[in-house]
Amino acid sequence: MLTVENLSVARGPCTVIDGVSLSVGPGEFVGLIGPNGAGKTTLMRAALGLLPHTGESSLAAMPAQTRARTVAWMPQSREIAWPVAVETLIALGRLPHLPRGAHLAPADRNAIDAAIARMGLESFRTRAANALSGGEQARVLIARVLAQDTPLILADEPAAGLDPAHQITLMHAFAAEARAGRSVVASLHDLGLAARHCTRIIALHHGRVAADGPPAQALTPALLAEVFHITAHVAQTPHGPVCQPLEVIR
């Protein structure tokens, strides 16, 4: 799905991403974690080909139209410039599938409706998207990403600003996408969400991969101490792995 080979990004004299290699296969829901400034956003944008970089990325090598049908990207900045209706905004996700000047086909409508249902936005359909609350806007933008109906989703902090119920709904939606054979890479700050829902954790530290594996293996006390400077309660429960940060290590 996504293959990144020896990817580096320099910003001025600083190396922000330093020779990262990884590959994400079908069915994987990857939680990209790391402290502020670890390079999560930069890694994803470079992998998409939105930033100048060295090394290889399967997405950056694609022509723009092919890439638009391969990967959907949810940027961290939640921009909705105009008071367009929620369903119109979500329909923008269908742009890569529409020939120039064509109208929405039944297949497009189905994808839009499914995305709206997935994010529980039925009652917002005709509301002006930029007048919604921050969390609601985030859900609309996630629905847009789902409507794009691509084999790969890259999302930058999609859970930020959502209430617990909607955070869990979001994680379930992404997990369902993964179960259906697609791949999801989402940067997350909430280690509990990452541990509980992701199939794989990639921890970034100073632009390098510090850990990569299933949550139970990746989230070790040593990693949490080295990368995040925290202690945490990590346990296996009947509901899956749990990770609850406890104290800052000084």
Partner 1 sequence: MRDHRALMAALLALVGALFAASLLIGPAGIAPAQALAALLRGDATAEALVMREIRLPRALLAVMIGASLGLAGAAMQGYLRNPLAEPGLIGVSGSAALGAVIALQTGLAASFALGLPLAALAGAAGAVALLLALAGPRGGSLTLILAGIAVSALAGALTALVLNLSPNPFAAAEIMFWMMGSLVDRSMTHVWLALPLMVVGWALLAGLGRGLDALTLGEDAAETLGISLTRLRLMLVAGTACVVGAGTAVAGAIGFVGLVVPHILRPFVGARPSALLPASALGGAAMLLAADVAVRLVLPERDLKLGVVTALVGAPLFLHLIYRTRAEGL
SS (H, E, C) the chain: CEEEEEEEEEECCEEEEEEEEEEECCCCEEEEECCCCCCHHHHHHHHHCCCCCEEEECCCCCCHHHHHHHEEEECCCCCCCCCCEHHHHHHHHHHHHCCCCCCCCHHHHHHHHHHHHHCCCHHHCCCEHHHCCHHHHHHHHHHHHHHCCCCEEEEECCCCCCCHHHHHHHHHHHHHHHHCCCEEEEECCCHHHHHHHCCEEEEEECCEEEEEECHHHHCCHHHHHHHHCEEEEEEEECCEEEEEEEEECC
Residue 77 or 123: the one with the smaller Cβ distance to partner 1 is 77
CA distances 80 to 72, 195, 205, Å, are 17, 31, 32
Residue 20 or 47: the one with the smaller Cβ distance to partner 1 is 47
Which segment (84-92, 167-175, 204-212, 221-229) binds partner 1 by CB under 8 A? 84-92
Residues 243/232, Cβ–Cβ less than 8 Å: yes
List 14, 36, 52, 82, residue binding partner 1 (CB under 8 A): 82
Q: Does 73 bind partner 1 (CB under 8 A)?
A: yes
Q: Does 80 bind partner 1 (CB under 8 A)?
A: yes
Site for partner 1 in 43-62 (CB under 8 A): 45, 48, 50
State the minimum distance, in angstroms, from the CB of residue 192 to partner 1: 28
Q: Does 104 bind partner 1 (CB under 8 A)?
A: yes
Report d(CA 128, CA 126) in Å as an integer: 7
Q: Does 103 bind partner 1 (CB under 8 A)?
A: yes
Encoded one letter per residue, x for contact with partner 1 by CB under 8 A and - for no contact, window 140-159 reads: -x--x---x-----------
List 14, 64, 165, 222, residue binding partner 1 (CB under 8 A): 64
Q: Does 72 bind partner 1 (CB under 8 A)?
A: yes
Q: Does 81 bind partner 1 (CB under 8 A)?
A: yes
Q: Does 36 bind partner 1 (CB under 8 A)?
A: no
Residue 72 or 201: the one with the smaller Cβ distance to partner 1 is 72
Q: Does 106 bind partner 1 (CB under 8 A)?
A: no
List 27, 75, 161, 192, residue binding partner 1 (CB under 8 A): 75
Return residues touching partner 1 (CB under 8 A): 45, 48, 50, 64-65, 67-69, 71-75, 77, 79-85, 88-89, 91-93, 95-96, 100, 103-104, 128, 141, 144, 148
